[in-house]
Amino acid sequence: MPAKELDSPCMDCKDTESVLTVRRRQLCGACFKRFVSYKVFRRMEKYKPPRNPQDPRHQLLLPLSFGVSSSVLLRMLDAELERQRSKNFARNTFDLHVLVIEPSTMAGSSVPYDRNYEAVQKIFPQHTYSQVPFHSIFEYVPDMNEIMREYTGPQFTDDSSRSNAERLAAFRAAISTATSATDVDSVLLTRLVAAFAKQSGCETVLWGDSDSRLAAKALAGVAKGRGASLTWRVSDGVSPWGLQFDFPLRDLYKAELIQYESVCPELAEIIIPDEPPSDNVLTKNLSIDELMMRYVETQGAKYPGVMANVARTVNKLETSNSGNASCGLCGGLVGNVKRNSGVTVSSQAESSGSPFCYGCMRSRPEINC
Ligand SMILES: [Zn+2]
Ligand SMILES: [Zn+2]
């Protein structure tokens, strides 16, 4: 018998008023957090404590965008480390490095974030924090100048007397369509994060993509001719740079992460709210990635199981690295893709000797337009 009269008791602890409904169950904040954290930490169990106390701990890198997903993931990982400490574990099983790519140096984001950056370090002080501008890709990936020159072709002149910020801006301005621009940005971002992780001695990047985002990435990836690299863009596994890429939020819908935010008041100081999608933007001006995200968010709300299935199916794909060359820009495979790792891409790139994959060639700047 419950000790007190409750209008709508939590279905787990039966002792507290429920505050939200998740997967048809009414739960209180504490039980909801436990449910969600379980889905994340059963994916992190592989990071076991070192056998000998003197062995190094796992070094994990979390890219933080100040969006809901990566901020919620940081909150969960922080809580897990706290739990380990409180259980008198000899040591934590991992150290967390938080990386912020300065939003002001990315396309289309002029939102000030200094306060959020200060707040996150104050609220979760146990971790190592770094922030780097987007154009620091030239420092972290030393051959990036050459890769870009080769990728853009002879019509594009890279002026080495300009600053890195100006050079990156010129390169991005040369890309004409919204889809290609978003596509190349995400390729560069991944490379920067991977290169930073390697230089900081991290073995794994923990990406904060929700199930909804992974489904959108999978659908957009296929549409953009990047089916071959879905295995490490969307699935847990080893990336072309030898680092492990993990997606610990893969069993949670975006809506559930928003619910998590609602029961963690401290996150309000960290999260920069998403701009609501504008109805005035013409669909043809949206990138495929944005279109897919909108589609998944609207349809996923109605049929969450379908979207979960997309992400789950992609996670079962096997990586095929059977001696194929990898793309100079994105690290994906160049040439035909064997086995079940995605769409079979044309061998045009291979026969023309291009060092870039089909997906990257499609996003190449069209200098003649
Ligand atoms: Zn409860
Ligand atoms: Zn590529």
Residue with tokens 């230089």: 199
Q: Is residue 36 domain-shared with residue 70, that is, in the same domain? A: no
- Helix axis angle for 68-86 and 29-41, nearest 10°, is 90
- The count of domains in the chain is 2
HSE-up of residue 128 (Cα within 13 Å, Cβ side):
11
Q: Tell me if 287 is assigned to some domain.
A: yes
CATH number for position 180: 3.40.50.620
Q: Tell me if 210 is assigned to some domain.
A: yes
Higher pLDDT, 255 or 202: 202
Domain extent at residue 5: 1-42
State residue 369's pLDDT score.
37
Say if residue 316's pLDDT is above 90: no
pLDDT range class, residue 29, cuts 50, 70, 90: very high
Closest to 332 (Cα-Cα) out of 229, 215, 254, 249: 229
How many angstroms separate the alpha carbon of residue 245 from the centre of ligand 2?
A: 17
Contact 209, 69 (CB under 8 A): yes
How many angstroms separate the alpha carbon of residue 242 from the centre of ligand 2?
A: 17
Q: Is residue 177 domain-shared with residue 311, that is, in the same domain? A: yes
State residue 338's pLDDT score.
44
State residue 269's pLDDT score.
95
How many angstroms separate the alpha carbon of residue 33 from the centre of ligand 1?
A: 9
**Mean local confidence (pLDDT), 356-368:** 77
Q: Tell me if 348 is assigned to some domain.
A: no
Say if residue 342's pLDDT is above 90: no
CA distance 178 to 366: 13
Decide: helix, strand or coil at residue 220: helix
CA distance 254 to 205: 20
**Mean local confidence (pLDDT), 245-262:** 93
State residue 223's pLDDT score.
83
Q: Is residue 96 domain-shared with residue 199, that is, in the same domain? A: yes
Reported as type and span, the H/E element at residue 129 is strand 128-132
Say if residue 350's pLDDT is above 70: no
Q: Is residue 131 domain-shared with residue 274, that is, in the same domain? A: yes
**66, 153, 159, 199, 300 from 61: Cα distances, Å:** 15, 34, 33, 11, 29
State residue 367's pLDDT score.
43
Burial class (CB in 10 A: 0-12, 13-18, 19+), 250: buried
CA distance 135 to 166: 9
pLDDT range class, residue 284, cuts 50, 70, 90: low
Q: Is residue 115 domain-shared with residue 178, that is, in the same domain? A: yes
pLDDT range class, residue 44, cuts 50, 70, 90: confident
pLDDT range class, residue 340, cuts 50, 70, 90: very low
Higher pLDDT, 230 or 95: 95
Q: Is residue 190 domain-shared with residue 87, that is, in the same domain? A: yes
CA distance 310 to 169: 35
Amino acid letter for position 349: A
For residue range 191-215, list pLDDT tens digits in order: 999 999 999 999 999 999 998 889 8
**167, 182, 193, 263, 286 from 151: Cα distances, Å:** 14, 16, 20, 46, 24
Q: What are the residues facing 60 on neighbouring strands?
A: 96, 204
Higher pLDDT, 368 or 177: 177
Q: Tell me if 160 is assigned to some domain.
A: yes
How many angstroms separate the alpha carbon of residue 267 from the centre of ligand 1?
A: 21
Q: Is residue 182 domain-shared with residue 289, that is, in the same domain? A: yes
Say if residue 190's pLDDT is above 90: yes
Higher pLDDT, 122 or 287: 122
State residue 352's pLDDT score.
53
For β-strands 244-246 and 204-206, DSSP reports them as parallel
**Mean local confidence (pLDDT), 338-357:** 53
Last residue of a domain, one of 281, 301, 319: 319
Q: Tell me if 358 is assigned to some domain.
A: no
For residue range 119-136, list pLDDT tens digits in order: 999 999 999 999 999 999
For residue range 165-183, list pLDDT tens digits in order: 998 988 888 887 888 888 8
**Mean local confidence (pLDDT), 271-299:** 77
Contact 312, 332 (CB under 8 A): no
pLDDT range class, residue 289, cuts 50, 70, 90: confident
| Average pLDDT score, the chain | 84
CA distance 298 to 276: 13
Q: Tell me if 339 is assigned to some domain.
A: no
Q: Is residue 100 domain-shared with residue 138, that is, in the same domain? A: yes
State residue 341's pLDDT score.
39
How many angstroms separate the alpha carbon of residue 11 from the centre of ligand 1?
A: 7
Q: Tell me if 368 is assigned to some domain.
A: no
Say if residue 38's pLDDT is above 80: yes
Write out the residues surrounding ion ligand 2, Cβ under 5 A: 327, 329-330, 332, 357, 360
Nearest bound ligand to CA 32?
Answer: 1
**66, 136, 216, 219, 261 from 277: Cα distances, Å:** 18, 30, 16, 19, 20
State residue 363's pLDDT score.
86
**Mean local confidence (pLDDT), 37-55:** 85
Phi, psi of 308 (to 5 degrees): -60, -35
CA distance 55 to 265: 37
Query: Which range, of 53-67, 153-167, 286-300, 342-356, averages the lowest pLDDT?
Result: 342-356
- Locate 206 and state its tokens: 């923990």
Q: Is residue 279 domain-shared with residue 140, that is, in the same domain? A: yes
Q: Is residue 27 domain-shared with residue 135, that is, in the same domain? A: no
CA distance 146 to 81: 42
- Please, where are the H alpha helices in the chain? 29-41, 68-86, 114-123, 137-140, 144-152, 164-173, 178-199, 211-223, 230-234, 254-262, 288-302, 304-315, 348-351, 358-362
CA distance 312 to 215: 9
Nearest bound ligand to CA 35?
Answer: 1
How many angstroms separate the alpha carbon of residue 241 from the centre of ligand 2?
A: 13
How many angstroms separate the alpha carbon of residue 225 from the centre of ligand 2?
A: 10
CA distance 234 to 47: 20
Q: What are the residues facing 96 on neighbouring strands?
A: 60
Q: Is residue 96 domain-shared with residue 10, that is, in the same domain? A: no
Say how many residues make up the chain: 369
How many angstroms separate the alpha carbon of residue 164 from the centre of ligand 2?
A: 22
Nearest bound ligand to CA 20?
Answer: 1
Q: Tell me if 288 is assigned to some domain.
A: yes
Say if residue 220's pLDDT is above 60: yes
Q: Is residue 274 domain-shared with residue 170, that is, in the same domain? A: yes
